[in-house]
Amino acid sequence: IPEGKTTAIVGSTGSGKSTLVKLLLRLYEPQVGEISLDGTDIREVQLRDLRRAIGLVSQDVFLFHGTVWENITYGTPDTTFREVVEAAKIAEAHEFIEHLPQGYDTIVGERGQKLSGGQRQRLAIARAVLKNPPILILDEATSAVDNETEAAIQHSLERITQNRTTVAIAHRLSTIRNAHCIYVMEQGKLVERGTHEQLVEQNGIYAALWRVQMGMRSGSSSFD
């Protein structure tokens, strides 16, 4: 995975995408082979240092019963108000936060239940922006929101992934079509590789899914 580029992973349910994310975060240890970071086996890196180097925005947003401010600064408590606001603006969250009853001091509820799905996702993005990690993992980051919200979130993601090493796990291909390289996984193996244009031209698994999602269904090939 090249430094400063966006690499996307797509595949059906059970193909191994989530396992790959867990391996990168060292929630799982590889049984065969190794994963290296700048040439160093990640098993030789202190877990705390590895986690600091990686930012994660997933479909399951972790928010706790606290204020908007506390949730954004989780993991980076020594930050200024200006830095938090700037991160929220990049994540396109500042405007809706300003309209909350107490702004950044508004309690979001357990798991962010007082916020919409899109609002929760944007707080997670703001948290990642504030952390400013050299590596960013996007695990189905827009899967739980509607198309309009997805477009706003996608705009935020394009800003924070620029010149940053990014691994994007996606079901909606429209969100990763601009990735520098896209891999298609099937049963734990990489079966296709290329840019969006190259994969569509190959007329394989990726192309079939693209036609389905674009409303041009041909045959029955699709991802779950």
Helices 117-131 and 147-161: crossing angle in degrees, nearest 10, is 0
pLDDT exceeding 90 applies to what percent of the chain?
A: 55
Chain segment 168-192, per-residue pLDDT in tens: 998 888 889 999 999 999 988 999 9
Dist. CA 124–CA 101, nearest whole Å: 20
The domain containing residue 13 runs over which residues?
Answer: 6-213
CATH of the domain at 46: 3.40.50.300
- Its pTM surpasses 0.95: no
Residue 1 inside a domain? The answer is no
Residue 91 inside a domain? The answer is yes
Residue 221 inside a domain? The answer is no
Dist. CA 6–CA 104, nearest whole Å: 31
Tally the domains of the chain.
1
Whether the pLDDT of residue 143 is over 80: the answer is no
Chain segment 50-96, per-residue pLDDT in tens: 988 999 988 888 899 999 999 999 988 889 999 999 999 988 899 99
Q: 162: pLDDT confidence band, cut at 50, 70 and 90?
A: confident
